[in-house]
Structure 1
Amino acid sequence: MDRAWFLPDLMWPYDMDSRTSRAADRSVDPAAWYGCADADVPITVQWDDGDHHGASPGRVPTSSVSMPSVVASMLADLDVRPGQKVLEIGTGSGWNAGLLAHRLGDDRVVTVEVDKAVAGAARARLNRHGLHPTVVTGDGLLGFAAGAPYDRIIATVGLRRIPYSWVEQAVPGGLIVAPWGTAFGNTDHVVRLTVSEDGRAASGRLSTPVEFMKVRSQRRQVHQAAYLPDGFPGNATTGTTTLSAAGLGVENRMHHPFSTAAGLLVPDCVLMADRRGKSVSTWLYSLNDLSWAATVLTDGTTESTVYQSGPRRLWAELASAHRWWTENERPGPNRFGLTVTPGEETIWMDTPGNPLPRR
């Protein structure tokens, strides 16, 4: 099924090397537009929750079409079989829902989209190509109980918490596939959860690193002025660290194995990093109070000054997480897993019976 069927005339393909988006307009250069549609890149189709206008990229991408390789990988994880019923969270362009409806039949696919305009456009595209899955406008975190139970549930938006409502709406033994991550950065990992036979829990391992637009109610923004109302360094205390930017992976968090462990071991914390020349300014911000930490990590320097403020000693937490990671043979993302039960998410390593020592 051609991805181009589900793309608007004006869209913004993402360049993986430069990490920038640029406009592609079918009315201006149809050959270039089709070339982008066929490329294995993600494409933004909405900016700023629909408040953006014009050909230039907006401020925040808020709806996109995933790169075909990621779509194929996640659908392979979903492992749908004839006769099964699927709930999709995040309709977007409608392409993924179209693929599922083509495979299973219209009456076996329900897709939920929070944005009314996005949902309407997706429904129109689907119908135009003879596909009629149920398209619901609503909060996907609630699932869609009216269509339950589902054999499979798939999310095409990044999550910081898996809703228990999805577990409740899945059949025992069903699968939930979703991009899940921590607040530490924008990286998600595809998690494939199997619902227990009693239907009360879902558990599974992290796998492929990906980066999805976050579900709207779980977006996180940090405003530095709230943490430093009197400017830097405020009332911070100082210390030192021997950790380096390369050792922490602060500039390559999608592919550095410590980044996943750091987000799991230092919860409710955002890391921001900015390189200038040979130095990387590195900031940590707590999301449950106004604690922060900062340092400048310079290439080739063995020791750096660290500033910390607030009840959480965030750099101390990060250093402790790095020691744990090193002492436990530097585990990669695929050694970690997630179990969802009523009111709780438990993070574990290797087996569900080995929970992580979280703060």
Structure 2
Amino acid sequence: MSIEDDRLAGAVEALDALGEFEHPWMGAAFAGIPRHRFVPDAVWMPDPGGGYRALERSAEPARWAEAVYAPHAPLVVQVDDGRPAVPGVGREASSSISAPSAVLFMLRALDVQPGDRVLEIGAGTGWNAALLCERAGPDRVCTIEIDPALAARAREALETAGCRVDVVCRDGELGHREHAPFERVIATAAVGHVPHAWIEQSAPGGVIVAPRIVPFHQGGLLRLVVADDGTASGSFDGGVMFMPTRGQRFTRFDPATLITDNAWEHSVEDTTALDIAALDDVHARFATSLRVPDVHHLLEPDRGQGRTLWLADAAGTSWAVVRDTTDGGEVNRFGPRDLAQEAHDALVLWEKTQRPRLWDFRTTVTPHGTTYRVGDTDQPFAQDPGAPRR
């Protein structure tokens, strides 16, 4: 038995013991479509000093196989959009193969049935598309990849494995109207706004599963059911962390470049009721992001003088620096918006609505935006106009 086959057998046993194979087809597909046959020989491991270092299969086969079959860890297969400045060294992860447990979690939510037409956004290595093909059937899965090199490699891996999957190289946010309608749509990259093309290209009663990313929180797995009127409604199945689609990447928030000396001199000094400690709760952060979806934050650890929270809007026109002191909160704010007050108001509403958790929020997506409600209440908790239709 090869190192890879041994690791595959161990992963099947471990995931089965954890109850990850909710349906028999999932265990059979996992065992019958070896993950290592879809992973490139060079993968990227986090460097303790920051960034990523290449791990070559030929140099460290045992470590490579271990990384491929780690049950709960994703594996980076591309850095810097395939163009690292230094060979063997990467700055930013730009594509990964999701952890086996995360893949199975999303497949359970998607609930693909034999014969379903499936649209996958983000082919990556092609392994997830192969699992979908095993369930839906040959020629029933279309997977979209925006990166030409990744698309070509996924196509080759799928053909070698004998999986009849249509691999299309284009922007996944546009969907694939030529093969619509789809009974199932799954995104393996996170979105801040669900593209309405996915809803338009879904059959009534179709299911859309996509990681929803927000600035204050790692995000949640959104499961929507499409209605006859072209809207989609659903809820969050749990917390997940995925790279965003390339069209919805967040700009890295760097206070040092945003807050210049000149801007600081013109900032307003004030006090604030914003409780920084409340943002330690992941559900509070998620709720805050729903109310202020365009505000990024950076919460610094306590270094003996209290904690500091940096806030900035996506436009870069307003920011706030909140310091948590023994006498209360102090803030320096700049620009037309009072971001500390907006965050405080969001937390107050979260408290008034009985501190709802991620999965307590119901979501409705229409051509005009997204509405979030807590449970079955009629009163919206938050409304987001969403991105312009493309």
Give the TM-score of the pair, scaled to structure 1. 0.90
Aligned to 2:241: 211
Aligned to 2:376: 351
Aligned to 2:277: 246
Aligned to 2:123: 91
1:207 counterpart SS class: strand
CA distance in 2, matches of 1:296, 1:36: 41
Identity, % of aligned positions: 39
Task: Please state if 1:338 is matched with 2:363.
Answer: yes
Name the amino acid aligned to 2:100: P
Task: Please state if 1:310 is matched with 2:335.
Answer: yes
Aligned to 2:27: none
Which of 281, 303, 307 is the equivalent residue of 1:277? 303
CA distance in 1, matches of 2:51, 2:93: 11
**Contact kept in structure 2, 1:93 and 1:121, CA below 8 Å:** yes
Question: For residues 127-142 of structure 1, what are the structure 2 equivalents within 5 Å?
Answer: 127-142=159-174
Deviations 1:180-232 (A, max 9, x none): 122334x1210000001x24100111221111111111112145467434446
Moved more, 113-122 or 124-133: 124-133
Structure 2: gaps (5+ residues): 1-32, 385-390
Name the amino acid aligned to 2:196: Y
Moved more, 276-285 or 94-103: 276-285
Aligned to 1:286: 313
Aligned to 1:11: 43
Question: For residues 28-67 of structure 1, what are the structure 2 equivalents within 5 Å?
Answer: 28-40=59-71, 41-52=73-84, 53-56=86-89, 58-67=90-99
**Contact kept in structure 2, 1:180 and 1:191, CA below 8 Å:** yes
Name the amino acid aligned to 1:54: P
Aligned to 1:252: none
**Contact kept in structure 2, 1:347 and 1:355, CA below 8 Å:** yes
**Contact kept in structure 2, 1:164 and 1:343, CA below 8 Å:** no
Aligned to 1:259: 285
**Contact kept in structure 2, 1:10 and 1:26, CA below 8 Å:** yes
CA distance in 2, matches of 1:228, 1:302: 25
Question: For residues 69-84 of structure 1, what are the structure 2 equivalents within 5 Å?
Answer: 69-84=101-116
* Structure 1 position 90, deviation (Å): 0.5
Question: For residues 313-328 of structure 1, what are the structure 2 equivalents within 5 Å?
Answer: 313-328=338-353
CA distance in 1, matches of 2:341, 2:137: 53
Moved more, 240-249 or 85-94: 240-249
Cα distance change on mapping 1:42 and 1:19 into 2, 3 Å: farther
**Contact kept in structure 1, 2:371 and 2:382, CA below 8 Å:** no
**Contact kept in structure 1, 2:274 and 2:343, CA below 8 Å:** no
**Contact kept in structure 2, 1:266 and 1:358, CA below 8 Å:** no
Name the amino acid aligned to 2:233: S
Deviations 1:285-314 (A, max 9, x none): 11145110112336xx35231111111100
Aligned to 2:387: none
Task: Please state if 1:166 is matched with 2:198.
Answer: yes
CA distance in 2, matches of 1:357, 1:204: 15
Cα distance change on mapping 1:264 and 1:175 into 2, 3 Å: same
* Structure 1 position 244, deviation (Å): 4.6
How many corresponding residue pairs? 348
- Larger fraction in helix: 2
Structure 1: gaps (5+ residues): 250-254
* Structure 1 position 25, deviation (Å): 1.9
CA distance in 2, matches of 1:199, 1:133: 30
Computed over aligned residues only, the root mean square deviation of the Cα atoms, in angstroms, reads 2.3
Name the amino acid aligned to 2:70: A
Name the amino acid aligned to 1:118: L
**Contact kept in structure 1, 2:145 and 2:168, CA below 8 Å:** yes
**Contact kept in structure 1, 2:283 and 2:356, CA below 8 Å:** yes
* Structure 1 position 321, deviation (Å): 1.1
* Structure 1 position 22, deviation (Å): 5.1
2:301 counterpart SS class: strand
CA distance in 2, matches of 1:122, 1:352: 44
1:106 counterpart SS class: coil
Aligned to 1:26: 57
Name the amino acid aligned to 1:311: P
CA distance in 1, matches of 2:115, 2:75: 32
**Contact kept in structure 1, 2:204 and 2:226, CA below 8 Å:** yes
Give the TM-score of the pair, scaled to structure 2. 0.83
CA distance in 2, matches of 1:121, 1:276: 46
**Contact kept in structure 1, 2:120 and 2:186, CA below 8 Å:** yes
Cα distance change on mapping 1:67 and 1:352 into 2, 3 Å: farther
